[in-house]
Amino acid sequence: PCAIAIFAIGTLLHVRLLMDSATPLDTDGSRRSSITQEQMQPAAAAEAQAEARATQTASLHVQSNVDLKEIAPSRNVAQDRALDAVDPSPGERNFRVVLRRGVQVPQLGLGTFCAKGIQCRTAVFAALSAGYRLIDTAAAYQNEPDVALAIGQAGVPRSEVFISTKLQAKEHTGGASNVAVALRSALNQLGTSYVDLYMIHNPRGGNLLEVWPAMLNLRDQGLVRVVGVSNFGVQQLEGLKAVGLELPEVNQIELHCWWQQREVVEYHRQHGIATMAYSPLARGQRFGSTGMVDVAHNMGRSEAQVAICWSLQMGHIVIPKSTNIDRIRSNFAMDFKLSSVELAAISKFDVGYRSCANASKCMDIPWAQVAQPYEHLKSGKNGGQEVAKPTHKDQQRQQWQQQQLQQKTHWAGCSTDAPAAASAN
């Protein structure tokens, strides 16, 4: 027995030595702690939970009377809403923008457009580990469960993560009831009792005079902290204002150094609307071909870092998208500022360049075409009152809109990453 015991002890010591030798040492001799792919991949049990949640969500579309309490986690909602009282770490470097009603939003976040599965989970995990505290997703991206899973893996309290998601254009047709069902689906997919920011993804779905009040109602019920819009132009915002509706607190639009959207930004400033910039890097499409090369070189920074820093100094909420871990970390560009000379130089880069034309052109759709349901536009009637009948050009646009609504996705040009020098968006 003694010999067996001695042999067992020796075997255990040998295994421990092998495990220690497999862990690399830092320069100070301590064992290195780093993010590994194994850490980012979900456990089998977590994957099974995600699949179960996705199955439950599929049934939500036909069960409009689902009780939110059945799909919400058992937690104190008041504690969930304590975000503004939290001073997160390591995200303390992430400055905040105070919205019109007092809610605070981390100024720098991660976009997740076209990222799915392990790619999305790895990106969100890496972002939260780097200090990001804003994650932007959407029902159309089909990655809300991945975002939820990554947040759980990262171990960051829900109260410290600001989650924004969006209502798909196809949900506009059913009016207020469809909006409520869509939110229930989002809550279930994200595994949360509320979302911090819920936005109309674009005005293309029409019926805004019914959809937007429904969004405000969801906020008043406490299911959403902030309601906003995406891809709205000035004329569409003016349309909401003209009928006496409360304006959104956030408008998420394409905005970067090469399309600075001065008119829209000024309108936002005058009406207390925060500007959230997606594709702040123009998907890397302008890198290496403009004066940004010289600005970045003189500062010893990458063009991506300078472009993000510019948006931050302009006061915008910025959500660069990348699935590359190194670029996600590099994009967390909050440790330097641009001088007045550098800002003046960048102001001249604005050439109206659209890197996401399919989405951003929604800003140009006339208010009359998005205010009412399509059947009202076609009949020329609205509750017995005449409205302007669409011209031939309007009818062509409406036909195009209907085709867009029938597609599974309303986005084009999906790419997972930009050239090696930059992030995708």
Number of H-type helices and E-type strands within the chain: 19, 12
Q: Which residues are catalytic?
A: 141
Tokens of 39: 């850490």
Cis before 90? omega within 30: yes
Beta partners for residue 31, in sequence order: 25
135's CB contacts (< 8 A; 6+ apart) are: 109, 110, 112, 124, 127, 128, 147, 151, 161, 162, 163, 164
Closest CA to 369 of 180, 161, 130, 207: 207
- Closest by CA position to 410, among listed 143, 164, 169: 169
Rounded distance between C-alpha atoms, residue 180 and residue 175, angstroms: 9
Cα angle, residue 304 at apex, residues 298 and 306 outer, rounded to 5°: 45
Q: What whole-number distance in Å separates Cα of residue 196 and Cα of residue 190?
A: 12
Closest by CA to 162, choosing from 108, 120, 118, is: 108
Quick count: other Cβ atoms within 10 Å of Cβ 388? Answer: 11
Question: Distances in Å between the alpha carbon of 128 and those of 47, 50, 108, 338, 411?
Answer: 20, 20, 11, 25, 26
CA distances for 48 relative to 45, 52, 68, 153, 193, angstroms: 5, 6, 22, 14, 21
CA distance 423 to 283: 7
